[in-house]
């Protein structure tokens, strides 16, 4: 009797639980709206993006059976998809007129569930397009002036030894020239096969021994050094050393250079010697008995060919002043670079991106970024 009573009680409890599980579920709720998988994108690069949203709702076996997307610009409806019978809630194609460049839109979505009940519209999301066509870009590419310091036309020189392939040896080169005034800046571009110590007006400005010790082909990378020149006579003195290669074979010894002062190339006429007496690097040294240096080849020819690479130019800094004559309601900065950039307005960095615009094959595609700079631009003269 006790066993039968217990079984009856269990059955009764199970029957009572059935109505609770069968309660009606609430309509589905769309949220988390995305455009090309971005939330409220600024600078959207597509005129026909893909839309997406997430669904939430209680109960089991819930399913979207249809959706409706409405896109507006200001107070005008740009596209109303109407009720579309589809379970898709990701990569849903925008089907209205092509979006316009530099334009803000708002959009919302509602869905129907598995029983055909519609939801409320989602909270509106927004998107803003970038400059979508080349014609939209009225800006011009800008850059720092190209560096015109190069070795074109310069000559490889050495001491007159009668042979070009020489055993390891040290030779000495000097040139003196006169300037009417001290230049604001001066640079010496050079390379040497194999190593050199360079003095300007008696001061050591470069020594390539360590580079040659680490790289037998260091001569293939030209160097630039800043030098201090004065009004009157200036002297450049070079202790150049030829070394055997890794196989112990004799190689050509040679030095090549070009001097630029105040933006102008300074002509140089070199003398050479097989020995370097005391004080040979000083401006007051008497080199009247030294002979003219031997010219081996013009840059681009001879055993060195055109295998010398010039130093990379430093990253340029660009500035522009502009004046905002009225209060700014909204300001956008559209920017890109063939390389990497960082931009500031009034001393404040724009955005939080780094290494922009990102690597790409510039001959095929150049990505650009859009920034909201409304808070950075004030009335009056400003700098960017």
Residue 171 predicted with pLDDT over 70: yes
Q: What's the burial of 173, exposed, middle or buried (CB within 10 Å: 0-12/13-18/19+)?
A: buried
Q: What percent of the chain has pLDDT over 90?
A: 75
- Which pLDDT value is given to residue 315? 87
- Which pLDDT value is given to residue 17? 42
SS (H, E, C) the chain: CHHHHHHHHHHHHHHHHHHHHCCCCCCCEEEEEEECCECCCEEECCCCCEEEEEEECCCCCCCCCEEEEEEEECCEEEEECCCECCCCCCCEECCCCCCCCCCEEEEEEEEECCCCCECCCCCCEEEEECCCCHHHCCCCCCCCCCCCCCCCCCEEEECCCCCCEECCEEEEEEEEEEECCCCCCEEEEEEEECEEEEEECCEEEEECHHHHHHCCCHHHECEEEECCCCCEEEEEEEEEEECCCCCCCCEECEEEEEEEECCEEECCCCEEECCCCCCCCCCCCCCCCCEECEEEEECCCHHHCCCCECCCCCCCCCCCEEEECCCCCCCEEEECCCCCECCEECCEECCCCCCECCCCCCCCCCCCEEEECCCCCCCEEEEC
Phi, psi for 214 (deg, rounded to 5): -90, -15
Question: Which tokens in the block code for residue 231?
Answer: 């009004």
Distance separating alpha carbons of residues 253 and 243, to the nearest angstrom: 8
Report the side by side order of strands in the sheet with 92-93.
29-35, 50-56, 92-93
Give pLDDT tens digits for 97-145: 999 999 999 999 999 999 999 999 999 999 999 999 999 999 999 998 8
**Pairwise pLDDT comparison (19 vs 326), residue with the higher score:** 326
**Pairwise pLDDT comparison (14 vs 61), residue with the higher score:** 61
- Which pLDDT value is given to residue 147? 86
Cβ(104)–Cβ(71) below 8 Å: no
Which residues are CB-contacts of 154 (< 8 A; sequence separation ≥ 6)? 256, 257, 258, 298, 299
All domains in the chain, ordered by first residue: 29-132 (2.60.40.10), 139-143+314-384 (2.60.120.260), 155-304 (2.60.120.260)
Produce one character per residue of 296-316: b if its CB has 16 or more CB atoms within 10 Å, e if not. Answer: bbebeeeebeeebeeeeeeee
Cβ(240)–Cβ(172) below 8 Å: yes
Distance separating alpha carbons of residues 160 and 273, to the nearest angstrom: 8
Comparing 54-68, 283-297, 302-316, the range with the smallest average pLDDT is 302-316
Give pLDDT tens digits for 197-233: 999 999 999 999 999 999 989 999 999 999 999 999 9
Under the banding of pLDDT at 50, 70 and 90, the label for residue 162 is low
Residue 19 predicted with pLDDT over 80: no
Cα dihedral angle (339, 344, 345, 348), rounded to 10 degrees?
170
**Pairwise pLDDT comparison (177 vs 161), residue with the higher score:** 177
Distance separating alpha carbons of residues 207 and 211, to the nearest angstrom: 9
Can you say how many angstroms the Cα of residue 206 is from the centroid of all Cα atoms in its chain? 31
Residue 52 predicted with pLDDT over 80: yes
Residue 15 predicted with pLDDT over 60: no
**Pairwise pLDDT comparison (339 vs 76), residue with the higher score:** 76
Give pLDDT tens digits for 351-383: 999 999 998 898 898 999 999 999 999 887 655
Spatial CA neighbour of 122 closest among 187, 31, 193, 199: 31
Q: Is the dihedral of CA 173, 312, 349, 323 positive or negative?
A: positive
- Which pLDDT value is given to residue 301? 93
Q: What percent of the chain has pLDDT over 70?
A: 90
Distance separating alpha carbons of residues 332 and 371, to the nearest angstrom: 6
């Amino acid at each position: 009797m006790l066993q039968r009573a217990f079984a009856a009680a269990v059955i009764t409890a199970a029957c009572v639980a059935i109505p609770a599980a069968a309660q009606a579920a609430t309509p589905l709720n769309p949220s988390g709206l995305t455009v090309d998988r971005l939330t409220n994108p600024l600078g959207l690069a597509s005129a026909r993006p893909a839309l997406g949203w997430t669904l939430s709702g209680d109960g089991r076996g819930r399913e979207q059976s249809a959706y409706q997307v409405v896109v507006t610009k200001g107070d005008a409806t740009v596209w109303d998809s109407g009720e579309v019978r589809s379970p898709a809630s990701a990569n849903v194609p925008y089907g209205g007129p092509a979006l316009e460049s530099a334009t803000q839109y708002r959009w919302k979505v509602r869905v129907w569930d598995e029983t055909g009940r519609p939801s409320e519209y989602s909270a509106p999301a927004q998107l803003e397009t970038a400059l979508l066509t080349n014609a939209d870009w009225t800006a011009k590419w800008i850059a720092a002036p190209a560096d015109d310091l190069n070795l074109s036309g310069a000559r490889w020189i050495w001491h007159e030894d009668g042979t070009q392939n020489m055993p390891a040896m040290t030779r000495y080169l000097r040139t003196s020239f006169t300037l009417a005034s001290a230049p604001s800046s001066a640079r010496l571009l050079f390379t040497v096969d194999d190593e050199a110590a360079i003095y300007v007006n008696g001061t050591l400005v470069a020594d390539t021994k360590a580079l040659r010790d680490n790289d037998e082909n260091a001569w293939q990378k030209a160097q630039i050094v800043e030098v201090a020149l004065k009004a009157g006579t200036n002297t450049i003195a070079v202790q150049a050393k030829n070394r055997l290669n890794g196989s112990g074979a004799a190689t050509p010894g040679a030095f090549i250079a070009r001097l630029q002062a105040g933006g102008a190339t300074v002509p140089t006429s070199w003398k050479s010697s097989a020995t370097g007496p005391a004080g040979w690097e000083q401006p007051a040294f008497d080199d009247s008995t030294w002979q003219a240096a031997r010219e081996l080849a013009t840059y681009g020819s001879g055993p060195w060919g055109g295998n010398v690479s010039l130093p990379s130019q430093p990253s340029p800094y660009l500035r522009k002043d502009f004046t905002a004559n009225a209060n700014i309601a909204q300001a956008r900065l559209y920017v890109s670079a063939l390389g990497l950039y960082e931009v500031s307005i009034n001393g404040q960095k724009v955005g939080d991106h780094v290494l922009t615009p990102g690597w790409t094959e510039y001959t095929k595609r150049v990505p650009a970024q859009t920034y909201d700079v409304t808070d950075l631009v004030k009335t009056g003269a400003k700098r960017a």
